[in-house]
Structure 1
Amino acid sequence: MNRSVAITGIGVVAPGGVGKKAFWELMVSGRTATRTISFFDPSRFRSQVAAEVHFDAQRHGLTPREVRRMDRAAQFAVVSARECLADSGLTFAELDPHRVGVSVGSAVGGTTSLEREYLVLSDNGRKWEVDGDYVSPHLYDAFVPSSLAAEVAWAAGAEGPAAVVSTGCTSGLDSVGYARDLIAEGSADVMIAGAADTPISPIAVACFDAIKATTPRNDDPEHASRPFDRTRNGFVLAEGAAMFVLEEVEHARARGAHIYGVIGGYATRCNAYHMTGLKPDGREMAEAIRHAMTEAHLAPRDVDYVNAHGSGTKQNDRHETGAFKETLGSHAYDVPISSIKSMIGHSLGAIGSIEIAACALAMEYGVVPPTANLHEADPECDLDYVPNEAREKQVDAVLSVGSGFGGFQSAMVLTREEVRR
């Protein structure tokens, strides 16, 4: 891979606000967007907390036809893609469409539409024999995850490679990593890459209830997500999306583009161990981190900020802490590390891309987002997890990591464009 890849456009749909500006304002404020679920009556569930996006599709530029056709995840993907395209300043009419591709990550695809249409078709589950005439003609698009990439490609006029990456909770990192690789190897010049997920539905809530992965802290939803805190007891389900314009660095320089950062390194691994279990030593995550840092030519002391997966489950936070100590050595105790899931919850496949947006903006503005709700430090998580308040700091190199059900472990390194180590 001889071609360096830059991020030149960012678009975000996240709890707490739609758009890059609203997202970053929430990140530096330390406020949370986690609340009691309002999309349906959650009273029968163990966990009744989520981070919902207040989203008016037509207000954000989608036509009534697009709203009817697209699942909510696809709507998020298209709105955030349009924002990143505008932010990039690219004139797509001047590009070869066959050299522009799309890579979208998602863990659960069209879950929202699939569940809604099943309830209509079965009369809320009362009928086993159903009449297909009652189903939406667009249900097939929700059933096939590839529709996410197709919708973004249509919005951008991209006729190059198009794919959906689904690797659980690392999907948002892996989709951007895949897009980076396509540009680096010369298969594309520009990629629209990111992820979208909208899992706040009864079926998804029931699934996580069954394995007790989500928090039962229903009496205090605003403070329910507590990564690295001694009192943490599970993650808060969320929804959202983030999309980026990626382009070859020389291509970006030639047109005078604003470069948020360069994707210096990326790696993913699978622990081949357990669907949901993690070993406390963090060996597999450590391997992904080592490879990404080696590819970026970074020594541990060069990392200025670590964006943790930080889901708020007991085993994940211990696993990560072990991985950071293993790979960063003594620098693990000096570098600021934080989890934005404390503020916007865990949007499954989308969160990795949303976290990349936070990393790029941390470099842009010289501010490290905090870990909200961190008041009682867990002795087993004894690193600098930036409790409760954002911190001003020059950030030239960021490490972002993700951990997903199935044993997936991914890591990505972003650096400033002018940094040469």
Structure 2
Amino acid sequence: MDTGRRVVVTGIGVVAPGGTGREAFWDLISSGRTATRRISFFDPSPFRSQVAAECEFDPVHQGLTPRQARRMDRAAQFAVVCAREALTDSGLSTTDLDPRRTGVSIGSAVGCTTGLEAEYSVVSDSGRKWQVDNDYAVPQLFDYFVPSSISSEVAWDVGAEGPVALISTGCTSGLDAVGHGRDVITDGLADVVIAGATDAPISPITVACFDAIKATTPRNDEAETASRPFDRSRNGFVLAEASAVFVLEELGHARRRGARIYAEISGFATRCNAFHMTGLRPDGKEMAEAIRVALDQGRINPTEVDYVNAHGSGTKQNDRHETAAVKLSLGEHAYRTPMSSIKSMIGHSLGAIGSVEIAACLLAMREDLLPPTANLHEPDPECDLDYIPRVAREKKADVVLTVGSGFGGFQSAMVLDRRTA
């Protein structure tokens, strides 16, 4: 149903590898530097893949009280800090918000993994006891077990009493959570939604899971250049942690208060291939369909797309699938459209990455500068589009397409249009 309500982004908050905060994140990705390193959170030597992109993050230094830091899982800490930065960036304060007209939509693929694994290790005596001893459990253990606690923490922090949701659709969670937040506003259920995603999955159990299916790179001796989307030498993605959260507003609401607008979310769509839990069809039809629907929603012709922010995970099947999808949806214009993957610099933060990539797109539009695909020296012959290798490119981008692909067959696409601003 077209209600005529349009949704814009007025605030951005980011916690990412290489530096906390929106501007530190932009400085890293615009310079083409990488934040992928050997894992330091635990001894990774027993694992096949021993590299990751970790955040340098001190919750108390970032404004959380010691009690909040103790209560929240790392992923929740990221989300709350990002929400605060986004709200400040938007020019709003919690006292400006109508609680009943304010919602929250947070995405996460693996929820409170860090806290849950650490506490399980305690109550099971490092896995030695099958029957765990709950006397050793922290009071927050239930919150770690229920991912929706992350959205609740954000809602409590900003005073949101409207619709509050946790969206978990694997690696498209970050796109889907922002898309859901947009829908809450277009449906008239809220005027402001705090939307984004967070994941802090760098833990032994997550590393072991991806080792088992050989999805992550074993390039342990070249950690800084291990993430190589679209390159012939790529051999898997680099695990990461991150968060990005936005202030979404109904357009009229934003204009009445004179807000600075980054861009309008003019289109969003998600599809599933109903094919395989981890496999992808090479033709990219499902992603292409999501792109087509998202463009149609915004009444945007494929030739108007100025930049594509790629999922670009650095696995062969994903890079080829995505290349095919962009060709299928944009036609000949695909060959004239610059495209890049920031995962080459900050790794793949699972459910968070879709929101982090939205942040990259909005900042690229603000700066008229497109981030590069680092470590791209020898493109796969089957990946023959313009992937902006190694060095950022100056270009005005009014219409940007960002896409995501996730286990389970999820394919999502979002269109950002700054001409509204």
**Shorter-chain TM-score: which interval?**
over 0.9
Which residue number in structure 2 is paired with residue 372 of structure 1?
A: 374
Q: Tell me, yes or no, if the aligned pair for 1:16 and 1:22 is still in contact at 8 Å.
A: yes
Q: How does 1:135-284 map to 2 (within 5 A)?
A: 135-284=137-286
Where 1:219 maps in the other structure, the secondary structure is helix
Which residue number in structure 1 is paired with residue 43 of structure 2?
A: 41
Cα-to-partner distance string for 1:60-95 (whole Å, 9 max, x where unaligned): 001110011000000000000000011111143233
Supply the RMSD in Å over aligned alpha carbons: 0.8
What amino acid maps onto 2:131 in structure 1?
A: E
- Equivalenced residues, count: 419
Q: Tell me, yes or no, if the aligned pair for 1:260 and 1:417 is still in contact at 8 Å.
A: no
Cα distance in 2 for partners of 1:295, 1:32 equals 35
Cα-to-partner distance string for 1:28-87 (whole Å, 9 max, x where unaligned): 100000000000000000000100001011000011100110000000000000000111
Which residue number in structure 2 is paired with residue 349 of structure 1?
A: 351
Q: Tell me, yes or no, if the aligned pair for 1:5 and 1:246 is still in contact at 8 Å.
A: yes
Where 1:118 maps in the other structure, the secondary structure is helix
Which residue number in structure 2 is paired with residue 405 of structure 1?
A: 407
> Residue 282 and residue 210 in structure 1: after superposition, are their counterparts in 2 closer, same or farther (change >3 A)?
same
Cα-to-partner distance string for 1:177-227 (whole Å, 9 max, x where unaligned): 000011011110000000000000000000000000000000100000000
TM-fit CA distance, 1:418: 3.1
Which residue number in structure 2 is paired with residue 75 of structure 1?
A: 77
Cα distance in 2 for partners of 1:82, 1:387 equals 34
Identity of aligned residues (%): 72
Q: How does 1:267-416 map to 2 (within 5 A)?
A: 267-416=269-418
What amino acid maps onto 1:369 in structure 2?
A: P
Q: Tell me, yes or no, if the aligned pair for 1:292 and 1:413 is still in contact at 8 Å.
A: yes
Q: Does 1:57 align with 2:59?
A: yes
What amino acid maps onto 2:82 in structure 1?
A: S
Stretches of 4+ moved more than 3 A in 1? none
Q: Tell me, yes or no, if the aligned pair for 1:259 and 1:417 is still in contact at 8 Å.
A: no
TM-fit CA distance, 1:296: 1.0
What amino acid maps onto 1:256 in structure 2?
A: G
Where 1:220 maps in the other structure, the secondary structure is helix
Q: Tell me, yes or no, if the aligned pair for 1:198 and 1:240 is still in contact at 8 Å.
A: yes
> Structure 2: 5+ residue runs without aligned partners?
none
Equivalent residue for 1:114, pick from 113, 116, 127: 116
What amino acid maps onto 1:249 in structure 2?
A: L
TM-fit CA distance, 1:417: 4.0
Cα distance in 1 for partners of 2:14, 2:62 equals 12
Where 2:58 maps in the other structure, the secondary structure is coil
Where 1:191 maps in the other structure, the secondary structure is strand
> Structure 1: 5+ residue runs without aligned partners?
none
Where 1:374 maps in the other structure, the secondary structure is coil
TM-fit CA distance, 1:125: 1.3
Where 2:75 maps in the other structure, the secondary structure is helix
Cα distance in 2 for partners of 1:354, 1:418 equals 22
Cα distance in 1 for partners of 2:397, 2:23 equals 19
Where 2:52 maps in the other structure, the secondary structure is strand
Cα-to-partner distance string for 1:351-401 (whole Å, 9 max, x where unaligned): 000000000111111000000000011100000000000000001000000
TM-fit CA distance, 1:301: 1.2
Q: Tell me, yes or no, if the aligned pair for 2:264 and 2:420 is still in contact at 8 Å.
A: no
> Residue 380 and residue 151 in structure 1: after superposition, are their counterparts in 2 closer, same or farther (change >3 A)?
same
Q: Tell me, yes or no, if the aligned pair for 1:280 and 1:318 is still in contact at 8 Å.
A: yes
